[in-house]
Amino acid sequence: MATSTCPICNAAVDSSDAVCRQCGVEFLMRGPQPPVITLSRPVRYRTVPTVVELTSKRWKSIMVLGVLVAVTFGGLCAVAALLIQPEPNSVEMVPVLVCAALSAAGIGIYALGRLGAWWHHG
């Protein structure tokens, strides 16, 4: 017969015994145990992204692009306003207004990405 150890006192116990002879603990399940399978390395399953995940990435990338455009041109607008210090209603205001318009376009791109993500995914 095969032997195992008692979980309480670590005494050698016959696999057919229902009680440990040393400490008296009862074993609930005796008999042949199922084999333990060990793997030499972890198993990695390759999953294919679903359509929802792919479209979600698309909308998120559009939102990131919108934020980058808005922040970049918003910063350029601030720098241009500080460096040029244009007079109101003058030609010097053109670079500042162009940067402000492009920054607003970036906010629009972000809103478009957010709206698309909501529309397609709820």
CA distances from 18 to 11, 22, 25, 29, 98 (A): 14, 12, 9, 8, 86
- 43-52 long-range contacts, CB within 8 A, separation 24+: 52/121
Task: Read off the pTM.
Answer: 0.53
pLDDT given at position 111: 94
User: What are the extents of the domains in the chain?
Assistant: 1-31, 51-121
User: pLDDT 10s per residue in the chain (122 long)?
Assistant: 577 888 788 888 887 777 888 888 887 655 566 665 566 666 666 666 666 666 788 888 999 999 999 999 999 888 888 888 888 888 888 888 899 999 999 999 999 999 988 887 75
Q: Which pLDDT score is estimated for 105? A: 95
- 63-80, pLDDT tens digit by residue? 999 999 999 999 988 888
Q: So what's the pLDDT on residue 48? A: 63
pLDDT at 85: 86
Report the pLDDT value the prediction gives residue 54, as an integer from 0 to 100: 67
Q: Longest Cα pair distance anywhere in the chain, in angstroms?
A: 101
